[in-house]
Structure 1
Amino acid sequence: MAERLVVLGIDGGGTRTRCLAADLSGNILGEGAGGPANALVVGQERAVVSVAEAVRHALQAAGRTPDDVGAVCAGLAGAGQPETQEALAGALAAALALPAAARIQVVTDARIALAGALQGKPGAILIAGTGSIAYGLDDRGRLHRAGGWGWILGDEGSGFTIGRQALAAGLAALDGTGPATVLGDRICAAWNLQQLSQAVPRVYADPAAARTEIAALVPVVVQAAGEGDAVSREILAQAGRDLAQLAAALLRRLALPEPVVATTGGVLESVAAVREALIRRLAELAPAARVVASAASPASGAVLMARMMLG
Structure 2
Amino acid sequence: VDGGGTKTETIVLDNRGIILGHSIAGPSNINIIGFNQAVKSIINSIRKSMDMSGIKKADIAILGLAGAGRKRIAKRFYRKLIKNCFLKNLKIFSDGYIALIAATRYSKGIMINSGTGIIVMGIDDKGKIERCSGWGYLIDDEGSGYWIGQKILNRVFRSFDGRDRPTALLKVVLNVFDAKDLDEVLIKVYSDKNFINRITSITKYVGDLWINDSIAREILEEAAEEMAIAISCVQKKLNIDCPDIYYLGGVFDIGKPLVDMLERKLKKYIAKFRLLKPMFKNVIGAGLIGLREIGINIDNYIICNIYDSGLKWGLIYE
Q: CA deviation at 1:220?
A: 2.9
Is the 2:5–2:66 contact (alpha carbons within 8 Å) kept by the matching residues of 1?
Answer: yes
- Residues paired across the two proteins, number: 295
Q: CA deviation at 1:273?
A: 1.7
Deviates more, 1:112-121 or 1:85-94: 85-94
Q: Provide the C-alpha distance between the structure 2 equivalents of 1:223 and 1:295, rounded to a whole number of angstroms.
A: 26
Alignment-derived partner of residue 99 in structure 2: 113
Q: CA deviation at 1:234?
A: 1.4
Q: Provide the C-alpha distance between the structure 1 equivalents of 2:112 and 2:250, rounded to a whole number of angstroms.
A: 12
Alignment-derived partner of residue 28 in structure 1: 19
* Gap regions ≥5 residues in structure 2: 296-318
Q: CA deviation at 1:142?
A: 2.1
Equivalence map 1:138-153=2 (5 Å): 138-153=124-139
Deviation readout 1:181-208 (Å, 9 max, x if unpaired)? 12223311332222223322322335x6
Is the 1:187–1:220 contact (alpha carbons within 8 Å) kept by the matching residues of 2?
Answer: no
TM-score (norm 2): 0.88
Alignment-derived partner of residue 69 in structure 1: 58
Q: Provide the C-alpha distance between the structure 2 equivalents of 1:126 and 1:222, rounded to a whole number of angstroms.
A: 19
Q: Provide the C-alpha distance between the structure 1 equivalents of 2:140 and 2:257, rounded to a whole number of angstroms.
A: 21
Deviates more, 1:191-200 or 1:168-177: 191-200
Equivalence map 1:279-290=2 (5 Å): 279-290=263-274
Q: Provide the C-alpha distance between the structure 2 equivalents of 1:43 and 1:217, rounded to a whole number of angstroms.
A: 23
1:88 corresponds to which of 74, 77, 84: 77
Alignment-derived partner of residue 211 in structure 1: 196
Is the 1:118–1:295 contact (alpha carbons within 8 Å) kept by the matching residues of 2?
Answer: no
1:223 partner amino acid: D
Q: Provide the C-alpha distance between the structure 2 equivalents of 1:190 and 1:87, rounded to a whole number of angstroms.
A: 36
Deviation readout 1:152-200 (Å, 9 max, x if unpaired)? 1111111111111111111111111112212223311332222223322
Q: Provide the C-alpha distance between the structure 2 equivalents of 1:78 and 1:119, rounded to a whole number of angstroms.
A: 22
Is the 2:30–2:67 contact (alpha carbons within 8 Å) kept by the matching residues of 1?
Answer: yes
Q: Provide the C-alpha distance between the structure 2 equivalents of 1:204 and 1:180, rounded to a whole number of angstroms.
A: 24
Is the 1:74–1:302 contact (alpha carbons within 8 Å) kept by the matching residues of 2?
Answer: yes
Is the 1:14–1:38 contact (alpha carbons within 8 Å) kept by the matching residues of 2?
Answer: yes
Alignment-derived partner of residue 305 in structure 2: none
Computed over aligned residues only, the root mean square deviation of the Cα atoms, in angstroms, reads 1.6
Q: Provide the C-alpha distance between the structure 1 equivalents of 2:79 and 2:293, rounded to a whole number of angstroms.
A: 17
Deviation readout 1:220-249 (Å, 9 max, x if unpaired)? 3222324x1111111112211111111111
Is the 1:19–1:55 contact (alpha carbons within 8 Å) kept by the matching residues of 2?
Answer: yes
1:57 corresponds to which of 48, 53, 58: 48
Alignment-derived partner of residue 235 in structure 2: 251
Is the 2:205–2:254 contact (alpha carbons within 8 Å) kept by the matching residues of 1?
Answer: no
3-state SS, counterpart of residue 231 of structure 2 = helix
1:235 corresponds to which of 219, 223, 235: 219
TM-score (norm 1): 0.90
1:24 partner amino acid: N
Q: Provide the C-alpha distance between the structure 2 equivalents of 1:148 and 1:38, rounded to a whole number of angstroms.
A: 13
Q: CA deviation at 1:41?
A: 2.3
3-state SS, counterpart of residue 61 of structure 1 = helix
Deviates more, 1:181-190 or 1:258-267: 181-190
1:263 corresponds to which of 228, 237, 247: 247
Q: Provide the C-alpha distance between the structure 2 equivalents of 1:56 and 1:264, rounded to a whole number of angstroms.
A: 27
Q: CA deviation at 1:219?
A: 2.8
